C-alpha cells in the first residue's frame, strides 16, 4: 500500500489531473444523471480550496505589501490595474462582436423558470462595499474584496513599523512580519496536502457536470458556447500573446510554466480556488514574489476577462431571443457596465451569473435568460475561468518585466552618476 501511495504522490500533477478529468467525462457519459452521486467528491475538493484561499490571500498580501516600499507598491498597483481594465474592456468587446456575427439565441425561447433578481448596486455603493463594516463578518462571509482591502491596509501598517526609525516599533514590525511569513508557510504546507486530493475532486466534478447536463444542452446552446470560446481564443492570440511578445516575454516558455494553473482553472472553474497554483506557476515562470503576491490575489478577484466575454455574448444571446436590435448606445453601456460588473465579480464558480443579471438589468433585457445560460454554465465557466487566470498571470508577467527594466535603468543611472 505504501508503494502505491508513493507512486501516486510522485506522479506528475498534470498527469493525475488529466486522468481524473478524462475518467470523470467517461463516467458521466456512461452513467448520465446517476453520476451525480459522485458530486460530493468534487464538492469536498472545492471546499478544501475555499478553506485555504482566505488565509492564503491575507498572509501573502500582507507579506507582499510589507516587502514593498510605498512608492514601489503604488507603481506596481497602477500598472496592474491599467492592464486589468484594458484587457477586460477588450474581452467584452470580443464577446459582443463574435456573438453579433454568429447570432446565438435565434429560435430559442425563455425557460419557464423563476430567477431571483439580484440587487443592482450603484457605483458608489460598489466602492463603499470594498470597505467592510466588520473584519470578522468579512471573514465569515468570505468577502474577498473586503479582505483584500484590510490585508493591504494592515500590510502598509506593518510596513511602516518595519521601516520605522524607532527601535521599539521596528522590533514589533519585524515580529509581525515573521509571524505572517510563518503562517504563510503553514498555509502552503496545508495546500500541498489538498493538492494530493485534487485529481479525485476533479474526477467528481467532471462526472457530475457531464452526467447531469449531458450533450442536449450543449447542442441547444451551441452557438453561444462557440461564440464565447472563439472570443476566448481571440483574447489569447490578440491580447495575451501579443502583449507578452511586446514586453519581451518568451511566450512558449511562459505557457509551459503556467500550464498547471491554467488547466486547473479550466477544470475547477474557480479563479480563487486556482490562486495557490497560480502563485506556484508564477514562481516557476520567474515572476518575482513581490509582484506575484501583490497582483495575483488582486487579479483573482477583480480581473475577469473570461467573465467579461461571457457577459458580452450572453447579452447578444438574450437580445436575439427577444428579437431586439442592440443600439450603439446600448452596446457602449454594456461595455462599461460589463467591465465594472466583471471587476466586482468574485472568482468563484457561478459568480458570472450574478454579473450577467446586473448587465441584463442595465440593458433592459429579461433577467430570466440567466436560467437558460445557467444550463451550460459549467461548460462556459471552464473556458472563461482559464481565460481569467491566464489574464492574471500575463498581467503579473508584464508588470514584473516592466519593474525589472525600471530597476535596471535606475541601477545604470546610478552607475553612470558614480563614474562621473
Which pLDDT band holds residue 45 (cuts at 50, 70, 90)?
confident
Q: What is the pLDDT of residues 123-143, one digit of tens each?
A: 566 667 778 888 888 887 767
Which pLDDT band holds residue 417 (cuts at 50, 70, 90)?
low
Among residues 383, 319, 318, 306, the alpha carbon closest in space to that of 345 is found at 306
Among residues 45, 9, 96, the alpha carbon closest in space to that of 270 is found at 45
Give me the mean pLDDT over the 186-205 stretch: 82
Q: How far is it, in rounded angstroms, from Cα 71 to Cα 73?
A: 6
- The CB density around residue 375, as the number of other CB atoms within 10 Å, is 17
Q: How far is it, in rounded angstroms, from Cα 346 to Cα 143?
A: 9
The whole-number pLDDT of residue 349 equals 45
Bigger pLDDT: 111 or 272? 272
Contacts of 119 (CB under 8 A, 6+ apart): none
Specify the pTM: 0.67
CATH of domain 10-415: 1.10.3860.10
Give me the mean pLDDT over the 215-236 stretch: 79
- Contact (Cβ atoms closer than 8 angstroms) between residue 281 and residue 396: no
**Arithmetic mean of pLDDT over the chain:** 78
The whole-number pLDDT of residue 393 equals 94
Q: How far is it, in rounded angstroms, from Cα 22 to Cα 36?
A: 16
- Contact (Cβ atoms closer than 8 angstroms) between residue 277 and residue 188: no
Cα Rg of the chain (Å, integer): 22
Q: How far is it, in rounded angstroms, from Cα 344 to Cα 351?
A: 10
Bigger pLDDT: 134 or 376? 134
pLDDT over 80 (residue 120): no
Cell of 247: 514586453
Give me the mean pLDDT over the 377-382 stretch: 75
Name the percent of the chain lying above pLDDT 70.
Answer: 74
Q: How far is it, in rounded angstroms, from Cα 278 to Cα 280?
A: 5
Q: What is the pLDDT of residues 55-65, one digit of tens each?
A: 877 887 787 67
Q: How far is it, in rounded angstroms, from Cα 281 to Cα 283?
A: 5
The whole-number pLDDT of residue 65 equals 72
Q: How far is it, in rounded angstroms, from Cα 310 to Cα 96?
A: 9
Among residues 218, 138, 173, the alpha carbon closest in space to that of 67 is found at 173
The whole-number pLDDT of residue 112 equals 47
Q: How far is CA 152 from the centre of its chain?
A: 19
Residue ranges per structural domain of the chain: 10-415
- Contact (Cβ atoms closer than 8 angstroms) between residue 289 and residue 185: no
Which pLDDT band holds residue 174 (cuts at 50, 70, 90)?
confident
**Lowest model confidence (mean pLDDT) among 238-252, 322-336, 363-377:** 363-377
Bigger pLDDT: 63 or 353? 63
Which pLDDT band holds residue 25 (cuts at 50, 70, 90)?
confident
**Lowest model confidence (mean pLDDT) among 114-118, 165-169, 401-405:** 114-118
The whole-number pLDDT of residue 217 equals 44
pLDDT over 50 (residue 348): no
Q: How far is CA 297 from the centre of its chain?
A: 9
The whole-number pLDDT of residue 114 equals 44
Residue 19, sorted as left (phi over 0), alpha (psi -120 to 50) or beta, turns out to be alpha
Which pLDDT band holds residue 389 (cuts at 50, 70, 90)?
very high
**Lowest model confidence (mean pLDDT) among 34-48, 96-110, 221-235, 239-253:** 96-110
Q: How far is CA 338 from the centre of its chain?
A: 16
Looking up cell 497602477 gives 78
Cell of 158: 506593518
The whole-number pLDDT of residue 117 equals 42
Among residues 251, 157, 269, 143, the alpha carbon closest in space to that of 208 is found at 269
The whole-number pLDDT of residue 324 equals 75
Give me the mean pLDDT over the 169-193 stretch: 84
Which pLDDT band holds residue 70 (cuts at 50, 70, 90)?
low
Amino acid at each position: 500500500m505504501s508503494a502505491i501511495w508513493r507512486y501516486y504522490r510522485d506522479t506528475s500533477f498534470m498527469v493525475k489531473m488529466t486522468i481524473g478529468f478524462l475518467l470523470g467525462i467517461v463516467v458521466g457519459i456512461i452513467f448520465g444523471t446517476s453520476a451525480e452521486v459522485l458530486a460530493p467528491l468534487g464538492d469536498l475538493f472545492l471546499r478544501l480550496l475555499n478553506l485555504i484561499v482566505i488565509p492564503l490571500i491575507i498572509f501573502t498580501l500582507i507579506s507582499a505589501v510589507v516587502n514593498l516600499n510605498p512608492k514601489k507598491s503604488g507603481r506596481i498597483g497602477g500598472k496592474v490595474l491599467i492592464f486589468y481594465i484594458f484587457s477586460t474592456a477588450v474581452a467584452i468587446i470580443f464577446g459582443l462582436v463574435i456573438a453579433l456575427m454568429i447570432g446565438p439565441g435565434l429560435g430559442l425561447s425563455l425557460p419557464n423558470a423563476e430567477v431571483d433578481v439580484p440587487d443592482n448596486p450603484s457605483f458608489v455603493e460598489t466602492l463603499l462595499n470594498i470597505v467592510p463594516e466588520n473584519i470578522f463578518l468579512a471573514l465569515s462571509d468570505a468577502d474577498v474584496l473586503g479582505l483584500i482591502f484590510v490585508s493591504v491596509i494592515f500590510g502598509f501598517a506593518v510596513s511602516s513599523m518595519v521601516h520605522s526609525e524607532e527601535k521599539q516599533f521596528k522590533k514589533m514590525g519585524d515580529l509581525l512580519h515573521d509571524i505572517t511569513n510563518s503562517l504563510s508557510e503553514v498555509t502552503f504546507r496545508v495546500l500541498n496536502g489538498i493538492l494530493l486530493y485534487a485529481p479525485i475532486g476533479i474526477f467528481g466534478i467532471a462526472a457530475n457536470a457531464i452526467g447531469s447536463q449531458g450533450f442536449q444542452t450543449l447542442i441547444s446552446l451551441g452557438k453561444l458556447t462557440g461564440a464565447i470560446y472563439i472570443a476566448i481564443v481571440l483574447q489569447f492570440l490578440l491580447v495575451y500573446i501579443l502583449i507578452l511578445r511586446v514586453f519581451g516575454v518568451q511566450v512558449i516558455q511562459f505557457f509551459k510554466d503556467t500550464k498547471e494553473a491554467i488547466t486547473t482553472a479550466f477544470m475547477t472553474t474557480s479563479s480563487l480556488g486556482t490562486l495557490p497554483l497560480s502563485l506556484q506557476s508564477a514562481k516557476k515562470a520567474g515572476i518575482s514574489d513581490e509582484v506575484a503576491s501583490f497582483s495575483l490575489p488582486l487579479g483573482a478577484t477583480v480581473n475577469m476577462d473570461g467573465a467579461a466575454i461571457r457577459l458580452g455574448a450572453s447579452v447578444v444571446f438574450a437580445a436575439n431571443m427577444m428579437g431586439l436590435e442592440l443600439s450603439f448606445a446600448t452596446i457602449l453601456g454594456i461595455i462599461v457596465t460589463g467591465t465594472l460588473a466583471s471587476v466586482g465579480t468574485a472568482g468563484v464558480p457561478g459568480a458570472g451569473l450574478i454579473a450577467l443579471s446586473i448587465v441584463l438589468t442595465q440593458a433592459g433585457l429579461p433577467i430570466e435568460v440567466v436560467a437558460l445560460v445557467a444550463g451550460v454554465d459549467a461548460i462556459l465557466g471552464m473556458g472563461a475561468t482559464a481565460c481569467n487566470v491566464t489574464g492574471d498571470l500575463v498581467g503579473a508577467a508584464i508588470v514584473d518585466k516592466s519593474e525589472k527594466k525600471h530597476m535596471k535603468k535606475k541601477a545604470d543611472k546610478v552607475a553612470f552618476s558614480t563614474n562621473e
